[in-house]
Structure 1
């Protein structure tokens, strides 16, 4: 028992002595290492185990500090551009140009004509916290320049390769230097790191290359070059608007044209027009206001209630700094909520001036945000200024009609009561009440006349006699268009048979003159045989007509219902559930051009009896101001008129063969009949004859045929729809029956026409002769949708939304 106790004591004593020696040795080692300054943390080894490293606070390396700071200031290329652009404006530049490659990541170059950088300042240009705009902290209370911290170029040099070329006023040469990590570097290996003399002009050029080359994570996170360039351009546009008087340009490197180009002479509105277009510029409202109690001055440009965009465009400058303010944005959106439709947004450019001492610009690394005193008063004042500006311009509103677009929806109309009754019997309506129409293209012409309230007989008599044959002429063809006539004789017989023009109901009158009575009669077409035109030039022109046509527009004309006339220029046509206003002059000219080509070589003739002198027509055309001819004496006009006669006599055989335009010995015997029953406005004959000789290219076949068709279309087009003609005075000459009006040429070649009280009005001719022909054969060109010739003004589906009935 005693032996066991003694053994235990010996073991404990041994263990105690071993541990004491081990810890003492470790303590001595640590003390020695600490005294020797070995490291800022130690690893204790006990039984082969390494504990965690001990961390102590140390100062970061200066290069690490600078790169961290650069990451706060330069987020992307647009951040660098904004800083350099503001430096150029601080330098008093009147011209600033920017070029970019790869959205500014590969290259970003800015060039100005400011006061430049002296050679002595080159070593400090990219040094952090080096600036010429601030001397002490108190200067921030009165700072009016963009820059003040001296961080912009320093930050750029830590994430990109920077080259600066600058020249001051009066210097003999410019200097160029390269920078990296805030310090001057040599342009090439072996050279000294100092500015080098070079050629240049007054101002500064900064070239930034390979941005974020040493921060790959950020470079890889950048968007595409196109998106980055769009951000660059947006900043340039904003500063261009706020700095009218400073010429600015921005383009991609290698491109010939600039995406932004403003001149010093441009006003703010001119700059906005060049950037956003005239549609916005003409709707701008100037804003100007002042609140003396807080030193507030506001100016800018706002879009009025006529302008609405899908996205808000908001340029806000406070003391010339481009900043953001979500509170002010919401304030202005509240103002526009009362004027714009839901989903519509305005254009706003605001420039706010506040006393420098009430503005704190040192609240954001990129100076994107600022703080200012009296925020509530400023917001209320700006809101009131904007409201007053909009109210002052809200005396009138502009509503744009919807232009006809391709791809019209074709819906079969429901017109009969039987169809409605059948639909009503179903549990689910078989028709859409918004799309119900009473009229369709299969109805007879003049079917709507029964809905017109007639005046009393006395009033009717005073306004003129209604045309006879109206009921007979209302018998409409069964088919609604699309089929082409096989021969002009069939067309003429078809039109007369259906009452488009009743020969027995048309009276033609002649006014006596020194030339004798001149009558217009319709020649029988039985002496002409239909010959298909196989001329390559004519077929090419016809194919061009088809290629330029619009299917939806063509459907409007081929399935239209005539509603009525608006004035002397426009008529209303219905197509299914839509109402269109149509410029009858433009449409008729296009239609007659196509008719001349389709009937080339197969045209019937309208005979002039007796024939008319081409010389007299040419002289009358020269006397017309529309010809643009001015002469000091009559000899020059006579010479030109004789030249017209000689040319048309030379081309007479071709004109007669292809167009039934017969000229014999300087006398015009006939005109082509493009539509049966339609006589062109003969007052246009003088200019027509003159233009045949001067406006048609007779040297090339296709150009010649095209010119002839165009001049015929101009002659035949509807100029203005006249009222029912008044009866002629007593003493009127012979009256003959025919298919149109007759003309008389008085002394001097002027054309006069008068008609009997029974002559059909031009408006009636358009409704019952011209529009039915257009319905059958017209291929409407796409240009009608853009030039205002055809405009949609109403749609029953849309009206149903408003009135809940049609």
Structure 2
């Protein structure tokens, strides 16, 4: 009987209206960035030429947009946030010629179901602005005891829409979101894309409490200039443009045109940046993206990607815009033909540019007689013969390269370059006195253990002007020759660990380098590269911050007549760090609990562990050495102190001469050779300042041969 009752059909009930609307809201508003996208589109539909965005906690606490558009009539405010209220459609046939962003009337309604929504608006004909509050699609009172009617207030022409406490009533959706910094980066990404496509509209985006905006563009601009401002001069210098049109007079075709801005073969991005606007809607198309990426196959080096901005305009009758709740996707006729023509246009433009990339290659020197050749050659783009079109110096260079590859041509000994990591290092030239000096295989004493190189360190997407300026400064101070030496060097060995001296070889020259100075610059650049998206080095159990700072201060030789005694210095440093722990956590993954426990440190380079004995000194230096009053200088000085902490070497109170630290010395040597120097090859942009005292040429093979010849 019980089983029979369990199998009985359950009654069908009508869902409550609020529940229906909250379910529908989840289809439109996925995260703060999707809400902002809807607001920006409404502002553009209103004819705005200036859009200002203010964000707090990644848009979860506050997301506000202010524009100077046509505004909203007071008479329309009562139904503004109801579902399916729109000024864009009157009948279903209007969908076939829709030319505005919004048309279903679900955006503001959805926001009112999952947040506290308020609107301040004024039209040109209104004597004052009107403010209204909304909840669940209906007008509500702004304060207890007030009526729900819109209230008169001061305001400029246009609209201010404020969203507070987003997803406050949907905790599952709230917990599924990423960190506030990542949500803010998504917001910046949306604003950046709409700013590129709408260069005549001024965009500004900033955090609450920030003195300067993280993103700002003028209202009189062009797409290329906007790309230069938002993506950098490096990309703008390599931008190419093309346009494709198709006339409707051709049988069985629809009229369309495409405007494309894309990077040349000389630009190498970490990942593909693809901005696609179809009839001015920001949409996605995996097929179109894949087709355009394939154009660059064989042109760009492996692991690098292009930048593509495509503005496609199609007859509205050939586009179905109503296939996705957030208008993320659209369907249109003759999709394959359009993709083919756009890809062909991209290919033709890249070929017309006629550029090729130059690569230096070195062959490994082995025991054979044909090794040791240094070949410089032009790498041509796909389907281009290397021997055609070369003359002058380039022709001679290729002729020399082809001569060197002839197996009958013997290379002089003083021109041979050892590049094989299987050859002996400096350490292997000394006798083995203890089994701990031997690698895992005693049959190959000179070869280091096989290990993987450092994992990829991806550049974070950050549009803070201060961070972009610091990254640009690194490129400006780059010394080309020294960077090439570091990039193509062969590690010889550590000369003196305590004095931080090592030997490296590049081509036929031998260099003595201060690996501590090079490592400090490397870790600074890696920290800047990962700003806002660093991994964490968790401390378990977390030590007390005050205790660590006290250890370092007590070890310092502070004069008796110093302005502050040691206890007050400790208090001052701890107060500084505690007051800024939210900023340190968001930007640097430097986590301090409310009760003053140090939970994690930034992890700059995976597979590398800094000397944790240096933590007290690192924390103490953060107080006086970091300029906490200026944003740019704060980031720069903090990253410099972090890099100084990461530099290989013992703590001041624990030099390597002590017997207890012999194992640590061995581990330090291994990390320098197998982690730090490989990372330098990949990521270090060497500044000219390192040439002053940190990199010295100590020998040149051709010069040494001259000495022996005289003997």
Supply the distance in 2 between the matched residues of 1:139 and 1:236 (Cα, whole angstroms).
29
Aligned residue number for residue 42 of structure 2: 87
Supply the distance in 1 between the matched residues of 2:296 and 2:204 (Cα, whole angstroms).
32
Aligned residues: 397
Supply the distance in 2 between the matched residues of 1:134 and 1:553 (Cα, whole angstroms).
64
Taking a change above 3 Å as real, the CA distance of residues 354 and 579 of structure 1, as seen in their structure-2 partners, is farther
Supply the distance in 2 between the matched residues of 1:260 and 1:66 (Cα, whole angstroms).
34
Supply the distance in 2 between the matched residues of 1:115 and 1:134 (Cα, whole angstroms).
18
SS in 2 for 1:67: helix
Q: Is the 8 A contact 1:435 1:577 kept in 2?
A: no
Aligned residue number for residue 94 of structure 2: 139
SS in 2 for 1:297: strand
Q: Is the 8 A contact 1:785 1:791 kept in 2?
A: no
The 5 A counterparts of 1:541-690 are 576-578=505-507
Supply the distance in 2 between the matched residues of 1:112 and 1:184 (Cα, whole angstroms).
22
Aligned residue number for residue 198 of structure 1: 153
SS in 2 for 1:213: coil
Aligned residue number for residue 332 of structure 2: 372
Aligned residue number for residue 570 of structure 2: none
Supply the distance in 2 between the matched residues of 1:50 and 1:357 (Cα, whole angstroms).
54
TM-score scaled by length of structure 1: 0.46
SS in 2 for 1:350: strand
Give the CA deviation at 1:50. 7.9
SS in 2 for 1:287: strand
2:264 aligned with 1:304: yes
Quote the RMSD (CA, aligned, Å). Answer: 3.8
Aligned residue number for residue 706 of structure 1: none
Aligned residue number for residue 343 of structure 1: 303
2:300 aligned with 1:354: no
2:85 aligned with 1:130: yes
Aligned residue number for residue 688 of structure 2: 783
Question: Deviation per CA, 1:502-527, whole angstroms, max 9, x where unpaired?
Answer: xxxxxxxxxxxxxxxxxxxxxxxxxx
Supply the distance in 2 between the matched residues of 1:116 and 1:63 (Cα, whole angstroms).
28
Taking a change above 3 Å as real, the CA distance of residues 398 and 123 of structure 1, as seen in their structure-2 partners, is same
Q: Is the 8 A contact 1:103 1:226 kept in 2?
A: yes
SS in 1 for 2:336: helix
2:9 aligned with 1:104: no
Could you say which structure has the greater relative contact order, defined with CA pairs below 8 angstroms and 6 or more residues apart?
1
Supply the distance in 2 between the matched residues of 1:159 and 1:141 (Cα, whole angstroms).
31
Aligned residue number for residue 64 of structure 1: 19
SS in 1 for 2:205: strand
Taking a change above 3 Å as real, the CA distance of residues 62 and 276 of structure 1, as seen in their structure-2 partners, is same
2:192 aligned with 1:240: no
Taking a change above 3 Å as real, the CA distance of residues 280 and 553 of structure 1, as seen in their structure-2 partners, is closer
2:293 aligned with 1:333: yes
User: Structure 1: where are the runs of 5+ without partners?
Assistant: 1-43, 403-412, 415-422, 437-547, 561-573, 581-780, 797-806
Supply the distance in 2 between the matched residues of 1:309 and 1:791 (Cα, whole angstroms).
33
Q: Is the 8 A contact 1:112 1:204 kept in 2?
A: yes
Give the CA deviation at 1:102. 0.9
SS in 1 for 2:159: strand
2:73 to 107, 118, 125: 118
Question: Deviation per CA, 1:570-621, whole angstroms, max 9, x where unpaired?
Answer: xxxx9843379xxxxxxxxxxxxxxxxxxxxxxxxxxxxxxxxxxxxxxxxx
Aligned residue number for residue 163 of structure 2: 208
Question: Deviation per CA, 1:211-261, whole angstroms, max 9, x where unpaired?
Answer: 111100110111100000111110110000000100001111111121211
Supply the distance in 2 between the matched residues of 1:246 and 1:78 (Cα, whole angstroms).
19
Supply the distance in 2 between the matched residues of 1:553 and 1:188 (Cα, whole angstroms).
66
Aligned residue number for residue 150 of structure 1: 105
2:178 aligned with 1:223: yes
Taking a change above 3 Å as real, the CA distance of residues 51 and 240 of structure 1, as seen in their structure-2 partners, is closer
Aligned residue number for residue 386 of structure 1: 346
Supply the distance in 1 between the matched residues of 2:691 and 2:195 (Cα, whole angstroms).
33
Give the CA deviation at 1:784. 5.2
Question: Deviation per CA, 1:164-186, whole angstroms, max 9, x where unpaired?
Answer: 00000122100000000000000
Question: Deviation per CA, 1:638-671, whole angstroms, max 9, x where unpaired?
Answer: xxxxxxxxxxxxxxxxxxxxxxxxxxxxxxxxxx
Aligned residue number for residue 174 of structure 1: 129
Q: Is the 8 A contact 1:291 1:381 kept in 2?
A: no
Aligned residue number for residue 120 of structure 2: 165
Supply the distance in 2 between the matched residues of 1:575 and 1:213 (Cα, whole angstroms).
58
Structure index of larger Rg = 1
Question: Deviation per CA, 1:493-547, whole angstroms, max 9, x where unpaired?
Answer: xxxxxxxxxxxxxxxxxxxxxxxxxxxxxxxxxxxxxxxxxxxxxxxxxxxxxxx
Give the CA deviation at 1:338. 3.2
Q: Is the 8 A contact 1:401 1:791 kept in 2?
A: no
Supply the distance in 2 between the matched residues of 1:786 and 1:382 (Cα, whole angstroms).
48
The 5 A counterparts of 1:469-488 are none
Supply the distance in 1 between the matched residues of 2:304 and 2:43 (Cα, whole angstroms).
36
Give the CA deviation at 1:379. 0.9
SS in 2 for 1:83: helix
Supply the distance in 1 between the matched residues of 2:508 and 2:370 (Cα, whole angstroms).
18
Give the CA deviation at 1:321. 0.3
Give the CA deviation at 1:391. 1.8
Taking a change above 3 Å as real, the CA distance of residues 53 and 339 of structure 1, as seen in their structure-2 partners, is same
Give the CA deviation at 1:392. 2.1
Q: Is the 8 A contact 1:93 1:113 kept in 2?
A: yes
Supply the distance in 2 between the matched residues of 1:262 and 1:372 (Cα, whole angstroms).
32
1:251 to 206, 209, 223: 206
The 5 A counterparts of 1:741-756 are none
Aligned residue number for residue 274 of structure 2: 314
Give the CA deviation at 1:380. 1.1
Give the CA deviation at 1:288. 1.1
Q: Is the 8 A contact 1:111 1:204 kept in 2?
A: yes
Supply the distance in 2 between the matched residues of 1:368 and 1:401 (Cα, whole angstroms).
44
Supply the distance in 2 between the matched residues of 1:66 and 1:791 (Cα, whole angstroms).
71
Q: Is the 8 A contact 2:62 2:165 kept in 1?
A: yes
Supply the distance in 2 between the matched residues of 1:184 and 1:432 (Cα, whole angstroms).
84
Supply the distance in 2 between the matched residues of 1:209 and 1:147 (Cα, whole angstroms).
22
Give the CA deviation at 1:367. 0.5
Taking a change above 3 Å as real, the CA distance of residues 50 and 351 of structure 1, as seen in their structure-2 partners, is closer
Q: Is the 8 A contact 2:238 2:263 kept in 1?
A: yes
Q: Is the 8 A contact 1:186 1:192 kept in 2?
A: yes
SS in 1 for 2:211: coil
Give the CA deviation at 1:783. 2.1
Q: Is the 8 A contact 2:283 2:329 kept in 1?
A: yes
Supply the distance in 2 between the matched residues of 1:785 and 1:274 (Cα, whole angstroms).
31
Give the CA deviation at 1:361. 0.2
SS in 1 for 2:14: coil
